[in-house]
Chain A
């Protein structure tokens, strides 16, 4: 039974919990089993925020992520807090504003996620959706079609085009040729 654990870390207000929900729902649309959980501080904006998703072919007993296969860190503090947990065979995806350790045991890839949201798509708040595009493209953990459906189901009415564009840009960013990533998948 294949089971993948994903942790999304950043600061409150970046929409990572919503991203976690969307990812889990996309997996369900793909016919898989998934659970999503979260932890957050008391702040509605700022503070730390963590969303976790497990995607599996069969029943999921323990609902929290212990050793992520994939970590997304949009802030330095999320990177620092969670990098040690990631499996050695796993993958860390960070925003390019995050300074990463040179000698990391775990494969780490940088993408201009926040910048793409702000400058290419035009709204900083779609960074969560750009991130999902990157993750999906790199890991094939969910299908592009299901992810798009799941995104459109959850985002506020009137922002569909914006989010579709964010997802597209994420897919584009994630198209990197990397042997290591291919192996991991």
Chain B
């Protein structure tokens, strides 16, 4: 199964029944497969006129009661940003897949990169929080997509799946039976709809979302709004709203973050990487181990919010920390924020449209430590 295909399978499994999208390499297979499959599961597929409209349509569909998704790559992701902000402000669950390619601009459309780490976090305007998940295998793409829908429903927030061309186009064996009893979170419709307040802080910082047409008429707006959803200029309400939008993610971080650790628990080198790059890092770790180095790997699957609590626990036991990513340094800044040790976070970068080789990583590590740690 291909990575892009795994996303579609995971999404359908999670209950996705609405897809709106616009073609862009290397994400297009996701749209094509949704067009093929959704009619058979009672779902809707629509090809919109651009990515702005795609994002708008999935928000509309989600409000009308369907779990909704769109997929794109860097340039299209940029076009979606304004409406991603709307989904964050209006708290509409939806899933956005960004299969990263090399940029900026048209860049190298068929080549991989991980240059959208910061765009996925801060691409839209204003204070907000967001959840971003990054799978490093085809199997994980399937799993992460299901979790993206679950988190999106639970916290009423847009969730971004940050893939890259390598994973999107990679074909690997996936055994779906492994996920036989995976939990799927559905929207709860409260019994008491008389006193329904769509923006009241009830559970995990959010109220359940009742779809349009179910007898509860409320307002949804991108303006600052009160618990009823009605616009207001009250600065106290504004502050409370923005704080809640940030806190509902940040304060539930322990529930949201996923990560994987591999190798030694203490030693010489701690690698931090995500997505496809971590496959090269794992191969590099095997090489370095053979040469006698003690190496550990910390791989955030949730990159936003960043699993800083865990990293704080493990990094002091390593002498040197390397952040490996297919860009000129983005997640590096987040790691550098967490690690309170001057000059011990090093960046290993590549941004030329080519995937990392394990050998390159090994060489760069040796180069940096040739004068000792």
Given known contacts A42-B110, A63-B166, A63-B279, is B171 in contact with A36 (CB within 8 Å)? yes
Question: Which of A27-35, A101-109, A164-172 contacts its partner?
Answer: A27-35
Contact of A41 with B by CB under 8 A: yes
How many residues from B make CB contacts under 8 Å with A? 19
Q: Cβ of B282: which chain A residues have Cβ within 8 Å of it?
A: 61-62
Does the CB pair B166–A33 fall under 8 Å?
no
Does the CB pair A62–B169 fall under 8 Å?
no
Q: CA of A33 to CA of B280 in the docked complex: distance in angstroms?
A: 18
Does the CB pair A66–B357 fall under 8 Å?
yes
Residue of B nearest to A66 (CB): B357
Contact of A76 with B by CB under 8 A: no
Q: Which of B169, B283, B357 contacts A61 (CB 8 A)?
A: B283
Q: Which of A28, A37, A41, A42 contacts B166 (CB 8 A)?
A: A37
Q: Cβ of B286: which chain A residues have Cβ within 8 Å of it?
A: 61
Given known contacts A35-B171, A61-B286, A63-B170, is B109 in contact with A42 (CB within 8 Å)? yes
Chain A interface residue number, banded: 10 to 19
Main secondary structure on chain A at its contact with chain B? Answer: mixed
Q: CA of A34 to CA of B166 in the docked complex: distance in angstroms?
A: 15
Does the CB pair B280–A37 fall under 8 Å?
no
Does the CB pair A66–B166 fall under 8 Å?
no
Contact of B233 with A by CB under 8 A: no
Does the CB pair B280–A62 fall under 8 Å?
yes
Contact of B239 with A by CB under 8 A: no
Q: Cβ of A34: which chain B residues have Cβ within 8 Å of it?
A: 171-173
Q: How close is B359's CB to chain A, nearest CB, in angstroms? A: 7
Q: CA of A97 to CA of B166 in the docked complex: distance in angstroms?
A: 32
Contact of A8 with B by CB under 8 A: no
Q: Cβ of B358: which chain A residues have Cβ within 8 Å of it?
A: 62, 66
B residues 326-373 in Cβ contact with A at 8 Å: 355, 357-359
* Most interface-central of A34, A39, A40 (chain B CB within 10 A): A39
1/0 contact string of B277-298 vs chain A (CB within 8 Å): 0011011001000000000000
A residues 63-92 in Cβ contact with B at 8 Å: 63-64, 66
Q: How close is A61's CB to chain B, nearest CB, in angstroms? A: 5
Residue of B nearest to A21 (CB): B171
B residues 162-197 in Cβ contact with A at 8 Å: 166, 169-173
Contact of A38 with B by CB under 8 A: yes
Contact of A138 with B by CB under 8 A: no
Residue of B nearest to A36 (CB): B171
Does the CB pair A28–B173 fall under 8 Å?
yes
Using a CB–CB cutoff of 8 Å, the interface residues on chain A facing chain B are 21, 24, 28, 33-42, 60-64, 66
Q: List 11 A-B contacts (CB under 8 A).
A: A34-B173, A35-B170, A36-B170, A36-B171, A37-B169, A40-B110, A41-B110, A64-B166, A66-B357, A66-B358, A66-B359
Sorted nearest first, the 9 A-B pairs with minimum C-beta distance are A62-B283, A36-B171, A61-B282, A35-B172, A61-B283, A37-B170, A62-B279, A63-B170, A28-B173
